[in-house]
Structures are given as structure tokens and as C-alpha cells.
Amino acid sequence: MEQYIKEVLQQGYVRPSNSPVSAGVFFVKKRDGGLRPCMDYRGLNKLLVQYPYPLPLVPAALEQLRGARYVTKLDLRSTYNLIQIKEGDEWKTAFSTSTGHYEYLVLPYGLAAAPSVFQAYINGVLREFLGSSVVAYIDDILIYSPSRNQHVRNVRAVLQTLLKNHLYCKAEKCEFQHKEVDFLGRFIRSFSSLARPPTDQLRGPVRKIKWTQEVDQAFEGLKNAFVTAPILQ
């Protein structure tokens, strides 16, 4: 905890506080084994006005990958710290440790609205790519393309846009130009191609589904994949 306080003070993320309120502090384990500080803002969250910005639905995100042959996964660094707390509201984020009383100047982990606030921000940054070559889920970004050459162009364009907006990636967490990656959990390999025949039957105006041999084989393949392979969870 002392090391964390020292770092965020130097980075300008927190400052000493005289706030009359104080939240508890605890650490949660990250996927890479590290620890992330999180504030117990249960009391504050009850008073906050909800931020009505939706997070992407996983099934809709997967549907965008139809026809993609190459994918790149980016993991953004210190995402919430890019969003400033409104001036005058910093005292509401105050917390105490054995080294003193502090308040955040940037968006902390623990606020109920934090994921939606950042989702709105990253969607604004990557708006021109969403739905055509990018899926963004908070600080996880997936770039997808139908060909290798197109993928190189897409990745370069996204990285240039992130850099322009002072958004940086964790190099050790990024995966470039793969046929399969873990994203928001785990993928079934070739899920999109497996699902294509029955999905195509459901497109367009409502009509009677023609249950062809191709659809039947795809359906059986999907059932087998769900019981034998890792799926998104």
C-alpha cells in the first residue's frame, strides 16, 4: 500500500485530502497476477446518478467477427487514470491508509459508473473503426480483418489513433496478427465459421428455415464445441 500511495502521488493521480468522508481500500488480483487497488465506494455509489452508457454485448461483439481471419488484441494501460474527476468533486473520492488521507484527481476503480464512463470515452476515440474492424470493451481492444494486408493497415491505423489520444498499450499483454486469441474470456476456435450456416438461415425476412445437411452439420458441430472446448464466460 505504501508503494502504491508513493507512485500515485508522484503521478498526480491523488493528493492529500481534508475530506470529511473516507472509503475503505482493498486489492483485487488482476489476470496477470498483479494487484489492483480498489476503493469501497458502496456508500458513494448509492448516491451517484447512474451513467446510462451501455457496455457492448458479448454475442453482438462476436457476430462482428464473421469472416475475420486475423485478429490482434490490445490491452490499454492505466485506462481509468485518463479520466479526470470534475473539479470540486474530488473530496467525494477520499480514502484513508496508514500513511494518510487522500483523494483522487482521476477516475478510481470502485465507482459504479467507471466502466460506462470509460466505455463512452474509448468508443469516441475509436468510433471510425467500430463495427468494421474493431471491438472495444473498456480497456480491451480487438482488431479483426479478412486478410493479412488489410490487417496490417487496420492495426497501424488504430495504433496511430490511440497514440494521438495519448492512449498506450501494455506491450506484454498485446497479441498481434493471430488466428485465435483470448478476448473477454475464451474463444471457441472458428466459432464464427461454425455458426455461419444456421445464422445465415435467420437473416432477412421471417420465413421457414430450410434445414439442410450443411445446417445440420454446423448445428452438431456447435453443440460439440460447447461441451468440449472453452467458450466465452
Taking only the tens place, the pLDDT of each residue in 75-121 is 998 888 889 999 999 999 999 988 899 999 999 988 999 999 999 99
Residue-wise DSSP of 49-115: PP---PPPPHHHHHHTTTT--EEEEEEBSS-GGGSBPPTT-GGGG-EEETTEEEEESBPPTT-TTHH
Q: What is the pTM of this model?
A: 0.72
Residue 211 has pLDDT above 90, yes or no: no
Q: What is the pLDDT of residue 190?
A: 46
Tens digit of each residue's pLDDT (9 = 90 or more) over 70-86: 899 999 988 888 899 99
With cell 468508443, the residue in question is 123
C-alpha cell at 197: 450456416
User: Which amino acid does the sequence have at 119?
Assistant: Q
The candidate with the shortest Cα–Cα distance to 104, out of 166, 12, 28, 10, is 12
What is the band of 144 on the pLDDT scale with cuts at 50, 70, 90? Answer: very high
**Taking residues 4-8, what's their average pLDDT?**
90
